[in-house]
């Protein structure tokens, strides 16, 4: 690597050092001093921003902008998901789905079924949306089956995050496909070939190994919220329960279909795209659950309203924490971390797939955003990749997606969502989430290398 040819300057060195110091500070504050994650990330953000040369006022504005952005995107979705989960628990719909799944698979087969269900739910959904839909099912399944929370949760997490990283129409893979002029259908086919072994290794197999070595207690507030005993003796049927949980999936699939197969400005396409917006789709699901699982199931209007209000209190800490993670990410972006890593990439000389993966890994570590990592990596490599065969372009797009999920840590909103939802300590979250995503990332790299060797 020739740093001089990439115009490496003192600011770049200082920025990398400040990023490392900030991340180390956050970990120490949370682990050693037991400060809340929100305050720890806030302190780390100012260390990184001011150390990198940003004025203190600019750091504060960047933090507010980043926190507002992530909460604007994910905060309302998480709130709607909590409402939906609470209604499913109170009405008995979550129990109905869990008991049906338990009849389909018991013992060792249950984690495999959870991985498959998560892949189906995760195909059209953003990870955050899929997670808030799956969490109630995970809690109820763990309680009813008598298996550990991790043994049920890890396969579900693996199924959703793998699809998010490797399969269009998720934003990351779709951006890479567009930038590299890859074939969408071919990329989806190759992505599925890589996603299946990645889910198997990072899900049921890793979950079985880790659950035998790490005991995690169900978080009290969320566990009580999502695993509450039904308040009515009339449990809804499996069909309506499944329809409610899949309603956002169906609506978002409709949006994807409209973008791919319909005239962009036609009334049908515009309607489907509107209904498929995550906020709209989840909002419709909550309203449908209110009517079909609540009122029609014998729950009073006062009881349903109280359930919806009660569902918001346990997620307050989660929302603050992921907002802080968004603030840290935006501060690092404003400080120029993407440009610094781009300079390193421009001076590197190595095989296309390995280069693409490493750039995406570095950008994800620095920014905490898979979308930023994917977009920037694809933009850097696009001029170099002109003239690639269709299979090669698709594999480069996939390896970028794989690199964008490598060892996600404290500047990643998903890291804090997993920590708060499952009541984990910081070290436990690294094992449950960061290592899981690293397995997906490495399997993605190995899979693309093998397919490149076999198909080109």
Three-state DSSP state, 309: helix
Name, in order, each residue with C-beta under 8 angstroms of 288's C-beta and a sequence gap of 6 or more.
244, 247
Q: What pLDDT shows up at residue 285?
A: 94
Give the Cα separation of 379 and 399 in Å (integer). Answer: 14
Q: How far is CA 103 from CA 100, 230, 386, 391, in A?
A: 5, 20, 52, 42
Q: What pLDDT shows up at residue 3?
A: 43
Task: Give domain limits for the chain.
Answer: 11-455
| Degrees, nearest 5: CA angle 71-77-83 | 125
Q: What pLDDT shows up at residue 384?
A: 79
Are 326 and 372 in contact, with CB atoms under 8 Å apart? no
Are 289 and 87 in contact, with CB atoms under 8 Å apart? yes
- What is the biggest distance separating any 2 CA atoms in the chain, rounded to whole angstroms? 72
Q: What are phi and psi of 8, to 5 degrees?
A: -70, 130
- Residue 262, number of CB atoms within 10 A of its CB: 15
Nearest CA to 202 out of 242, 236, 160, 168 is that of: 160
3-state secondary structure 79-117: HHHHHHHHHHHHHCHHHHHHHHHHHHCCHHHHHHHHHHH
Q: What pLDDT shows up at residue 1?
A: 43
Q: What pLDDT shows up at residue 240?
A: 93
Q: What pLDDT shows up at residue 227?
A: 65
Q: What pLDDT shows up at residue 2?
A: 44
* CA torsion angle 174 179 182 186 (round to 10): -10
Q: What pLDDT shows up at residue 232?
A: 60
Whole-structure pTM value: 0.81
Q: Which residues of 232-243 are buried (b: 16+ CB within 10 A; e: fewer)?
A: beebbeeebbeb
Q: What pLDDT shows up at residue 229?
A: 65
Are 77 and 220 in contact, with CB atoms under 8 Å apart? no
Name the stretches of the chain with pLDDT < 70.
Answer: 1-7, 124, 169, 227-233, 346-347
DSSP secondary structure letters along 242-282? HHHHHHHHHHHHHHHHHHHHS-TTSHHHHHHHHHTSHHHHH
């Amino acid at each position: 690597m020739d740093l001089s040819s990439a115009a490496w300057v003192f600011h770049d060195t200082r920025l990398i050092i400040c990023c490392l110091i900030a991340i180390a500070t956050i970990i120490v504050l949370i682990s050693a001093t037991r400060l809340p994650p929100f305050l720890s990330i806030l302190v780390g953000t100012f260390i990184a921003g001011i150390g990198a040369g940003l004025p203190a006022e600019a750091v504060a504005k960047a933090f507010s902008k980043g926190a507002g952005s992530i909460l604007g995107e994910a905060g309302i979705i998480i709130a709607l998901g909590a409402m939906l989960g609470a209604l499913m628990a109170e009405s008995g719909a979550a129990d109905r789905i869990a008991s049906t799944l338990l009849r389909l698979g018991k013992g060792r087969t249950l984690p495999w079924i959870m991985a498959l269900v998560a892949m189906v739910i995760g195909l059209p959904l953003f990870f955050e949306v899929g997670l808030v839909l799956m969490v109630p099912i995970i809690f109820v399944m763990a309680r009813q089956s008598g298996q550990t929370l991790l043994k049920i949760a890890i396969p579900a997490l693996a199924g959703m995050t793998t699809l998010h990283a490797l399969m269009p129409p998720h934003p990351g893979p779709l951006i890479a496909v567009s930038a590299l002029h890859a074939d969408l259908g071919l990329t989806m086919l190759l992505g599925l070939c890589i996603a299946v072994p990645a889910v198997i290794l990072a899900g049921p197999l890793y979950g079985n190994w880790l659950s035998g070595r790490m005991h995690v207690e169900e978080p009290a507030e969320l566990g009580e919220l999502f695993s509450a005993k039904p308040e009515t003796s009339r449990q809804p049927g499996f069909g309506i329960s499944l329809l409610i949980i899949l309603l956002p999936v169906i609506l978002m699939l409709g949006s994807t279909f409209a973008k791919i197969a319909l005239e962009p400005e036609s009334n049908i396409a515009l309607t489907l795209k509107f209904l498929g917006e995550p906020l709209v789709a989840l909002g419709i699901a909550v309203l449908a659950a209110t009517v079909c699982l609540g009122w029609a199931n014998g729950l009073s209007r006062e009881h349903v309203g109280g359930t919806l209000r009660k569902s918001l209190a346990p997620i307050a800490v989660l929302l603050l924490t992921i907002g802080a993670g968004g603030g840290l990410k935006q501060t690092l972006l404003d400080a120029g971390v993407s440009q610094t890593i781009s300079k390193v990439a421009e001076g590197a000389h190595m095989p296309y797939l390995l280069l693409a993966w490493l750039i995406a890994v570095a950008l994800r570590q620095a920014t905490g955003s898979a979308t930023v990592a994917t977009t920037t990596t694809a933009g850097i490599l696009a001029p170099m990749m002109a003239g690639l065969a269709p299979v090669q372009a698709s594999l480069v797009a996939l390896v970028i997606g794989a690199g964008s999920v490598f060892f996600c840590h404290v500047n990643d909103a998903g890291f804090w969502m997993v920590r708060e939802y499952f009541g984990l300590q910081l070290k436990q979250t690294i094992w449950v989430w960061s290592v899981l995503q690293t397995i997906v990332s490495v399997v993605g790299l190995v899979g693309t290398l093998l397919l490149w060797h076999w198909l080109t």
